Structures are given as C-alpha cells and as structure tokens.
Homo-oligomer: A and B are copies of this chain.
Amino acid sequence: MTADKYAPIGVFDSGLGGLTVVREIMKNMPNERLVYFGDTARVPYGTKSKSTIIRYSRQIINFLKTQNVKAIVVACNTASALALDTVENEIDIPIIGVVRPGTDMALKATKNKKIGVIATDSTIRSNLYQKLLTEGDEDVKVYAKACPLFVPLVEEGWTNDMVTEIVAQRYLYEVLNKKIDTLILGCTHYPLLSTLIGKVAGKRVQLVNPAYETAQALDRMLTELNLKNDSETEEEKKYQFFASDTAEKFNAFANLILPYDVKATKQIRIESYQETLNDK
C-alpha cells in the first residue's frame, strides 16, 4: 500500500464514546485530519456477540476505506476486544485498538501487580484484557468486572450523582477488596466518570484511561511508518463525522466532549457496506 501521510485517520466506535479518543488525538496530533464513524443505529456493542461485532466492524472498515484513511483506530473497547484480532489480518491499512495501549500503561503503572479492569459485559467475557495483562508476567493478578449500567448512567447525564456513586460502589466493591493499585477504565464512556470512580476507588488506585494511551500509541505508530502529517492545515473538512442514525443527538453529545464545534454529521447506511474484507 502506498499511503498518503496527508490522508485522514479513520476512527470508529459503536456510538459516541469513541469521541473521548478523538479528543485525545485532536490534542496530541493537531495536524491530523480525522474521519469519525459512530454506529448509532446499532449501538451498543457491549451486549452483543463476537460474530455480530466482527460483521459490524468489517462494514465500518469498508466505509472508512471509501474515505481513503491512512490508518484506523478502533475507538471502542468491545470492538477492540472482539473484532480487532480478526480484522487486522484482513486489511493492509495500519490499525490499532484501545485495549493494548491500556494494558501496556497499566503494566507500567502497577507496583503490586494487582490490576482491576472495568468494561462492558462482552469485553470482560472476551478475556482479552486478562490475557494481555498476564501473558508477559504470570505474577500479575487481574480482577475484572462488567459494569453495564455505567454507559446508560453517563448518557443520562448522571456523571456526578448519588445514584451513580452507589452503583460504582457496588460494582467496584470486590475489585477494590483485592487491593488493586491500578484500574483500567475499559470502556470509552468511563473516562466521563473518572472523577466519581476516582472518589470511590480512593487515592491509592491509579486510573488508566486507554483513550489517552491510544492517542500516544497512534502517534508512535504513525511516526514509525512515516505517516504523520507534518503540515498544518486549517481546511474546512479537517474533521468529518459520520453516523448510522440521524445526527441530532450525535452533535449535541459531540459538542459536550470535543474542543471543536461539530455541526454537520452525515448519516450513512452502514448495512449497505460489504461484510467481508479482502485486502490480503
């Protein structure tokens, strides 16, 4: 593949949570053009099966290819955990997910080798976080907990709320009892709860935000591949946003998260993209 370093980076998520990754990329790599796709007509992925998430991810990658992206970021923990290992063997565009940057950081951060992971049900059941954290050091202990109410609580806007705090105390009780010193926020919505989770977890627990780590890892990957955009651009279409459902909610939520005014999200019919990938 002859990649163009001025081409955009494609970022996708099941819905809006991946915008927390976009935010970090915008901050870290202000020269880069971005194309974001949120699968808002089929959100959430965290309750769905591996085969369905692979199918959806392949369709989205086929859409991103029509945008001539130079690299792809799977800005969704569930898709990173369930589909990345399959799709990365099917395309010749560089692709990274959010799981490995998160586990790499957690392994650097932990001192007592007791690491907690909170994520969606499908991500936890995939066991990928557990596998990556222990494969290099079998002394590492991982305590994982699915927190299915966190996403709807964030979407309800209850990010600093007594109900959310009680839910967090309940979800984190066992994990905290294991005396973890590091906690991975393994779902893109969870950084929006980091103040509250930090309060419940206490000062001794370091929170790892894979969104931030992913932006760093993306920077390193593009540098290695000589694909970083080295020219400042102020063009109008620098950032483009696409979704599978209508745009109203998307724009409102995006404007809460991003240091950029999202006005014109385009709706596309994601089902019309092929369910197979065959670059290789």
> What is the interface of chain A, defined by CB distance below 8 A to chain B?
40-43, 47-49, 51-52, 148-149, 151-153, 155-156, 162-163, 166-167, 170, 244-246, 248-249, 271
**Residue of B with least CB distance to A272:** B271
Q: Which 4 A-B pairs have the closest CB atoms?
A: A49-B246, A152-B152, A271-B271, A41-B52
**Residue of B with least CB distance to A50:** B246
Evaluate contact between B149 and A156: CB separation under 8 angstroms: yes
Count of identical protomers in the assembly: 2
- CB A63 to nearest CB in B, in angstroms, measures 14
**Residue of B with least CB distance to A151:** B152
- CB A269 to nearest CB in B, in angstroms, measures 9
Q: Please name 4 further chain A to chain B contacts, defined as beta carbons within 8 Å, in addition to the given A43-B47, A47-B155, sorted by A numbering.
A: A41-B42, A49-B246, A148-B155, A149-B149
- CB-CB < 8 A to A148: which residues of B? 152, 155-156
Expressed in whole angstroms, the Cα–Cα distance for A248 and B51 within the complex equals 13
Expressed in whole angstroms, the Cα–Cα distance for A167 and B170 within the complex equals 15
Evaluate contact between A163 and B167: CB separation under 8 angstroms: yes
Evaluate contact between B149 and A52: CB separation under 8 angstroms: no
In the complex, which of the residues B42, B152, B249 contacts A42, with contact meaning CB atoms closer than 8 Å? Answer: B42
- CB-CB < 8 A to A162: which residues of B? 166
Expressed in whole angstroms, the Cα–Cα distance for A64 and B271 within the complex equals 20
Expressed in whole angstroms, the Cα–Cα distance for A182 and B155 within the complex equals 29
- CB-CB < 8 A to A47: which residues of B? 43, 155, 249
**Residue of B with least CB distance to A51:** B246
- CB-CB < 8 A to A49: which residues of B? 245-246, 248
Expressed in whole angstroms, the Cα–Cα distance for A196 and B162 within the complex equals 20
- CB-CB < 8 A to A271: which residues of B? 271
